[in-house]
Structure 1
Amino acid sequence: MSTVAVTRFVEADAVDVWCLLTDLPGRAVRLTAAGPIEVLTPGPFGPGTAWREERAQPDGSTLTEEFLVVESLAPHRLVLCSSGAGVDYRITWSLRQVRRRRRGRTAVTVTHEAVPTAPYGRVVALLLGHLAARAVEVALRRDLADLAVAAGAGSVEAA
């Protein structure tokens, strides 16, 4: 299993950050790597919500991914899963409100776990795991930066 976690402080209340995270129609507008979004399930956002989106890759190609909400605890924790070729992914967004004088500030941590589900997935993880983890980290940092911009100016990246 490969795990990558990235944290960024966003100058907004956790409730506002949560609204940005769970607004599926707005994802393609806010996240520079996200393309068209197709919501696959009817009803309000929550466990069982599924969608498909195109994601821009570092080499300029696009990849279509499907996401399923497995846990939604507003405004603190959002857990998504996505299946890939020989690997299952679990993406956890954790929001922790941090008060800073009179303005809200939220520590946002996104954790990406990759679990090989087929023998070739394990081999690829052994051979290319470090490169894949670096690419995932870059993508997560980009998504967090986009989220911070959408939430308002002045966010600060965590060390």
Structure 2
Amino acid sequence: MDHQTSLTQHISAPADKVWAVISDIPGSAATLSGIDSIQMLSTGPYAEGTRWKETRTMMGRAETVELWVSQCEPPSTGRAGSTTVKALRGGADYTTRFSLAERDGGIDLTVTFGVEVLKPTRASKLMMAVLGPIGMRITRKALARDLREIAAKAESL
């Protein structure tokens, strides 16, 4: 990936409760303060292929992006679970992976976010070199807030 960041939050809740929060796409706008609204594009439970539009305000601008689940491994006996969400926007491939790992009677939830320019040009390479680190710092702050809010919700269930 061209730019990538990873953060981990310990959550004092079992894997099934953490999974219930991260897989509740229709309820995510109520859980995560960074999400303005959700529009579901598919029906059924959270699974590979689940699609939705998510509107977030970042740097004072509302942006709506279509996302989908590209990989889904719910927690089960002996496995804490993981899921990957993708988006394509502006010639870039965005990947967000949530991984759950049991630790100290709870779960370490790690989110890894990355962006890859699909057909890089000189101009896009220059822009990523200059603006990429700034964008990743802003994204890292938003992801840290999301993790704290996921933890608070899972711990309250």
Residue 152 (structure 1) shift: 2.2
Contact 1:3–1:114 (Cα < 8 Å) also in 2: yes
- Which residue of the partner structure matches residue 96 of structure 2? 91
Residue 144 (structure 1) shift: 0.2
Residue 61 (structure 1) shift: 2.0
When residues 121 and 41 of structure 1 are mapped into structure 2, their CA distance, relative to the original with a 3 A threshold, is: farther
Residue 56 (structure 1) shift: 1.8
Identity of aligned residues (%): 28
Contact 1:86–1:121 (Cα < 8 Å) also in 2: no
SS at match of 2:29: helix
- Which residue of the partner structure matches residue 154 of structure 2? 151
- The total of aligned residue pairs comes to 148
Residue 60 (structure 1) shift: 2.4
Contact 1:90–1:114 (Cα < 8 Å) also in 2: yes
Unaligned runs of 5+ in 2: 76-80
Alignment of 1:8-157 (within 5 A): 8-57=9-58, 59-75=59-75, 76-100=81-105, 105-118=106-119, 119=121, 120-152=123-155
Q: Hey, which bits of structure 1, 4+ residues long, moved more than 3 A?
A: none
Residue 122 (structure 1) shift: 2.7
- Which residue of the partner structure matches residue 78 of structure 2? none
Distance 2:37 2:9 in 1: 25
Contact 1:94–1:109 (Cα < 8 Å) also in 2: yes
Distance 1:14 1:139 in 2: 23
Unaligned runs of 5+ in 1: 154-159
